[in-house]
Amino acid sequence: MKTGIIQIKVDPDPQKNIDQLLHYSQQTKEADIVVLPELWICPYDNGKIKESVRYQKQAMDALRTISARYHQILVGGTIVEKQGTHLYNTCFIYNDGQIIGSYRKTHLMEFHGRTTYQEKDVFSMGNQIVTFDTPWGKMGVVICYDIRFPELPRLLALQGIRVLFVPAAFNENVGKAHWNALMQTRAMENQIFVCAVNPAAYTYRSYTSYGRSLIADPFGRIQVQMKKNQRVHIEEIDLHKIDQIRQRMPFWNIRRNDLYK
């Protein structure tokens, strides 16, 4: 399965980000599945998040166009979705131009240090876990901060996913400390592939993106990691590795469900 990653260097102007996406998508046209970062449409700033709502239709039109044009599955990172009075941090998933799933971020990030930042000041929480079917098996998606809660990837793995896609926007400081460790651990403990995608390095006010999108294999090894300023990469994923590793190290047969319940 050829997996394309697009690290957009996010601009304060949502229209420029849409134009970037259309441009870079030409370089991943040979991929079977393409993955985008969290909030590729706007900087990670609550004011800019609210402003970007006006571009929801244009962003979804661009995602639909790319998926249809190149006959791909597109895990569309996240954009700001407005429904009624609520805003959601939402990943739309397309196949050949048709929406086959959408996932709203279920765990909203908070940070309390010298300054306080809370996603709940702008976003509402999603309340459903999401899988989607592909010719290569069932896949799952979580968004950025969700990866810190092992219950969610485990529930997806128990539903049979082969790859967990993680549109994300880790900042530079936290990325250095936790990015690789979290993605490798979720891959290893669930014996699945994890494909995690950040924006390319950019700075807006106090936020700097980490970049360095990666794919971790079901043994927990990093198969590929992009550079912080790299824009595009295509990587072949051999899904047979999942069955090979599960046979060699049969975590799933040893799990004590009688205790966990």
From the number of C-beta atoms within 10 Å of its C-beta (0-12, 13-18, 19+), residue 168 rates as buried
Phi–psi pair at 109, nearest 5 degrees? -70, 140
Spatial distance between the Cα atoms of 189 and 153, rounded to a whole number of angstroms: 10
Dig out the tokens for 62 from the structure: 């661009």
Query: How many CA atoms, within 13 angstroms, populate the side-chain half-sphere of residue 73?
Result: 20
Whether 167 contacts 136, CB under 8 Å: no
Side chain identity at 246, as an amino acid letter?
Answer: R
Active site residues: 38, 105, 144
Phi–psi pair at 237, nearest 5 degrees? -110, 125
The crossing angle, in degrees rounded to 10, of helices 56-70 and 14-24 is 0
Q: Given the structure tokens 């954009």, which residue do they identify?
A: 79
Q: Pairing state of beta strands 2-6 and 33-35? A: parallel
Query: Is 194 strand, coil or helix?
Result: strand
Query: Is 8 strand, coil or helix?
Result: coil
Chain centroid, CA 1 distance in Å: 17
Dig out the tokens for 163 from the structure: 């790859």
Q: Which strand (E) or helix (H) includes residue 99? A: strand 98-104
